[in-house]
A and B are shown apart, each in its own frame.
Chain A
């Protein structure tokens, strides 16, 4: 199913009458539009990209922006061939979003080969700015190390010093367990057991019972999407949290919690770089977003696409051309970032975007006033503590000093 939608370009159309020379920019939003990650990225990311082009006032600044989108079906081969087609035939200058770590790593490689630009928002793997970093890639929103640092560190500090993992039995789950284990042990905690669950799993009750039997204070969910939702739903059913054990969701998005409802997910501790109700700017953006997108609030991944497009356009404006992707990415690293959703930040030489992360707790049903009123903020984790130090990532772009 090769679904390509031709969108936007509205900003460019407005300015066709203007006589000034315009810099053409073609943005490709590549993500999951029908599978498990369609709600965290999907069409919402395209809406966010379109809003970024409007808010940047691209047309007034001499940029003629066009947005295209496609479904990579969470398959690296599908994603890579779409990317080649976009770069070679359709004149796409930059690819955004790309959830699913394996697809993201493939796109990063193709982008480097073609000297285009890649601004990732949806994928988790910290390898994008570690061993497999690239001069053509920026990793915007979050990564596995930041999630582990946030949730893992916080749970241990709150007294959760013994852990049991329910780990999705594939690369992503195992990486997340590995990174979190490192954080837990560094903070003086201990992992007492883990169970590898087949991916995907509908019924977690058996694994939850094993976790319950282990007596661990924290049950860490090293999984994502439907697996996480099922595990949390059934943990509530089996009275896990009432029994004094805490659940730590290592990768949870607001759309997951919205689907679970606060009644089921209450007390869950999680780490995210963005939540629609953080401040006036995020609220204003999210209200506009919801108006054009069926009343849904943006997820962190969709917010990351917005921030990424704004900063990318800023770099293109400075260079007056989008053709040399490596140059644009270098310019992005040089300019300080500043957008309404993530505030002021920087992009490191290894491609890692640095901003604060937040530790949230899901509200109790009594505290939540409407279906999207989900989190209260426990702590703000400053950007320089949240992400892995550049020296430990093993990125070949960064010379060892």
Chain B
């Protein structure tokens, strides 16, 4: 067998593929964060809690209403997105004129409250959520056993990321959005309802987090702290990609998943810190991030 640095080639391929799968979660989550930051200038610390809510809503739909995975993939993001819209109208909309820090404090506090409420109700051990029967089982690839569900995660996240990018970069709606970020007063003067645009954008970013939550429910433990663990990594991804850069966050998400995957082979103890090391290096060389615009 061919070896690379003492690791068999085949094992390495397997690890790269797994890295790509984890990268999918990073990509969807950081995409949502990047959109919200890019258009609303809000550092959305509630993102992790909203990701957790997506997984919980999927569980509730199944256990209280008998609605399965596929509908949950649609309904959970809608429900959590609606929650985001209400949050934006009632609270966040009041902070646009203030410093970033206020938004950060508000969303961080909300995240703690939401997690606490879920913990009180459902405990910390987590809830069971099975892989849908259509996607159970797996493929025996030459270098590894790939569960079908993991393959689906990569495909679904690529499709969602690309679709979002296309909408923002290539459609008229996207053009309004980008214009509203640059100069809201002028866009409003042209008769575009800017506050509504911002509300919907926030709702959409939140819905993306919930979508990732539903994707994660069958493979990770569905528990109230699941978002708190991942959100810090995702923030690092956004910083590396460049705050507010849509394409940057997608590419960085997948790439860092790969790098993390490799670290798990060569030096597993560092796999939880490697992303932060990269963040420090990138900030030293390019403070605006790899794809960020310098302000």
Contact = CB atoms under 8 A, between A and B. Distances in A.
A176 to B, nearest CB: 17
Contact of A213 (B11, B128, B130, B150): B11
A81 interface: no
A206 B264 contact: yes
Interface stretch (B13-21, B32-40, B99-107): B13-21
B131 A209 contact: no
Quick one: which of A237, A256, A263 has the most chain B CB within 10 A?
Answer: A237
B227 to A, nearest CB: 10
Interface residues of A, number: 40
Interface in A211-246: 212-213, 225-226, 229-230, 233-234, 237-239, 243
B178 interface: no
Contacts, number: 101
Given A39-B125, A229-B125, A263-B130, A206 B119 contact: no
Quick one: which of A203, A212, A213, A258 has the most chain B CB within 10 A?
Answer: A203
A196 interface: yes
Interface in A1-51: 34-39
B196 interface: no
Nearest to B257: A203
Nearest to B263: A206
Interface in B81-95: none
B131 A36 contact: no
B134 interface: no
Nearest to B116: A34
B114 to A, nearest CB: 14
Interface string A180-214: 00000000000000011110111101110110110
Interface stretch (B202-210, B217-225, B286-294): B217-225
B289 to A, nearest CB: 24
A195 B226 CA distance: 23
A255 interface: yes
A259 B221 contact: yes
A62 B116 CA distance: 41
Given A207-B264, A209-B14, A237 B147 contact: yes
Interface string A350-385: 000000000000000000000000000000000000
A230 B22 CA distance: 14
Contacts of A234: 219
A53 B21 CA distance: 52
A261 interface: yes
A287 interface: no
Contacts of B116: 34
A223 B180 CA distance: 50
Interface of B: 8, 11, 14-15, 18-19, 21-22, 116, 119, 123-128, 130-131, 138, 144-145, 147, 149-150, 219-221, 223, 225-226, 229-230, 261, 264-265, 268-269, 271-273
Q: Which 10 A-B pairs have the closest CB atoms?
A: A198-B272, A259-B125, A206-B264, A261-B128, A39-B125, A229-B221, A39-B123, A259-B126, A237-B147, A38-B124
